[in-house]
Amino acid sequence: MNDPQGAAPSAVALEHMTGPARGSLTWLGASTLDVTLDAGCFIDISEPRVGDKNSDLVARFHKIENTYEIEAAVDRSVWVNGIQVVSARLEHGDTIEFGETGPLCRCRFFTEHSPVRNSVSDILSDAVAYLRVSRKPFVRRTINAYQILFGRITHETSILFKVTVLVAIAGFGALIFQQQQLNRHFQDSIETASAKLDNVATAMFNTQKEALRPSDLAALRETLEQRVTLNMTRLEELESRSAATGRIIDESRGAVAFLQGVYGFRERSGDRMLRQLIDSDGLPMISPRGQPLLSADGNGPLVEIQFTGTGFVVGNNSLLITNRHVALPWEKNVSTSLLATDDFVPVMMDFFAYLPNEVKAIQVYLSSASERADIAILGSESALPMVQGLDLFALPPKSGDEIIVIGYPTGLKSMLAQSGSSFIEELQETKNTDFWSVAARLAEEGYIAPLASRGIISQVTQSTIVYDAETTYGGSGGPVLNIEGKVVAVNAAILPEYGGSNFGVPIAEVLELIDQAQNR
């Protein structure tokens, strides 16, 4: 990619990385430019025409100093560097995706010193950028990246480079062919020698099979008995392990809490909270972009962001462990982190924990959070119910170990699915289905119950444990148990595109955080 090296750009262009115009440049010059897409995803960038109401409008560019600001059209989506934006000021190298199915482009600044031809490293950089920011499925994204890479190398590199690559490919092909010939010759030699050995073994067996001795029969019977015994032992072990898993789940569920909370935003310089603006008819006021208007001067409902998660009681019934991103949910919420600016600070408004078989919710708060790992300790406004806390296992597990993950994946939805149709019908009849009421009703009816899944640990590092037990959002903060029922990690993250792998924080981080909290 051309680098202006800090110099003020003399020209700005969009390089089309995908779509019908792939490989071409569109120069931006006017103070305002409209971006439209036709049915074939062909992009058109031109100055607005007076009186023209273009329904294909996707975005608009506004020139600001030496660059442009991109503004998404109403009800249209624009992503800059993989993040959906309403408006954003463009920098050199930013990737822009227009619409759900639109093309991907890169913003480029040019100076008088910018080279005319892209280098191979520039082309590789663009392919990597596409892999990183594109929202297409992983396989489709990888195929497109290779098409971009080889297509641009074919069309945009010098003749000398192409000839060098062809010579290298030809030499590599010749080397592969020669290696294949050597391997084939070696394999033929092995097969010939093996055939000779087989002939000798056959002859030897033919001479001995008629003279089978009693000792041979005894050895054969002993071998068969050993195999039967071994199979029975394995079967008993599997049955015992299955029963043990059920026992561990039953004994541990009572210590796994369902967490639900809501947070808002308070102005940094005062006590006013962020609210919606409503009109004289009591209806929410909407911006030209179709979003509710929000302000500390608002006269409508408070801006409240709801969340759910999982926690678990450890030790002597005094500590509740969860993820840091559950206790401080605004830190990793891309949609709301933009509100936490110099003008507003996030504020936890309500935070409750429900334990299985307990009707009453427990109000909790953040007691301590790790600055290094995704773990936190919650305190409670009142004493926790007397439950058997989970034991922590200080030694790290090994790859291949079986584990059990317990939590509340999908939050209220999974518990409603388990409650049955009659309970759901009752909720529908009462029409009392708000965030807090549903949880309270589930607790009253005894439906607060976590789900459990089994899996295998695939990788263990100092900071992460990787396993394949099924879980999803809402299960964050739940315990990861070994087959002895002791906690070896705290469930933290999911990567559905990476083979269904899930990530946990090793229990050593929890022990360190507990030690720090107790020594304060």
Q: Which element (helix H / strand E) includes 511?
A: helix 507-518
Query: Given this model, what pLDDT does residue 339 score?
Result: 59
CATH architecture of 254-518: Beta Barrel (2.40)
Q: Digits of tens for pLDDT over the chain (520 positions)?
A: 445 545 677 789 998 888 888 878 888 988 999 998 887 788 889 888 777 777 788 999 999 988 999 999 988 889 998 899 999 999 988 999 988 777 889 898 887 765 545 566 666 766 676 776 666 677 776 777 677 666 666 665 556 666 666 666 677 667 777 777 776 765 665 454 334 334 433 333 333 343 334 443 344 445 444 554 554 454 444 445 556 678 888 889 999 999 999 999 998 888 899 888 898 888 888 877 777 888 888 888 998 889 999 999 997 767 899 999 999 998 877 666 555 566 788 999 999 999 998 999 999 999 999 999 999 999 988 878 888 899 999 899 999 999 999 999 888 888 888 887 888 888 878 877 788 888 999 999 999 999 988 889 999 998 899 998 877 777 899 999 999 999 999 999 776 555 557 899 999 999 999 988 888 7
Query: Given this model, what pLDDT does residue 509 score?
Result: 94
CATH no. of 11-157:
2.60.200.20
Nearest to 58 by CA among 33, 83, 82: 33
Could you give the CA distance from residue 48 to residue 50 in angstroms, rounded to a whole number?
6
Handedness of CA 417, 421, 423, 429 (dihedral sign): positive
By CB atoms closer than 10 A (0-12, 13-18, 19+), residue 124 is middle
**What residue spans define the domains of the chain?**
11-157, 159-188, 254-518
Query: Given this model, what pLDDT does residue 241 score?
Result: 55
Q: Which two tokens stand for residue 93?
A: 């190298």
pTM for the model stands at 0.54
Amino acid at residue number 517: A
SS3 33: strand
Residue 279 has phi, psi (to 5 degrees) of -90, -175
| DSSP track, 78-103 | EEETTEEESEEE--TT-EEEETTT--
Query: Given this model, what pLDDT does residue 68 score?
Result: 94
Nearest to 316 by CA among 395, 250, 255: 255
By CB atoms closer than 10 A (0-12, 13-18, 19+), residue 228 is exposed
Q: Which two tokens stand for residue 462?
A: 């100092």
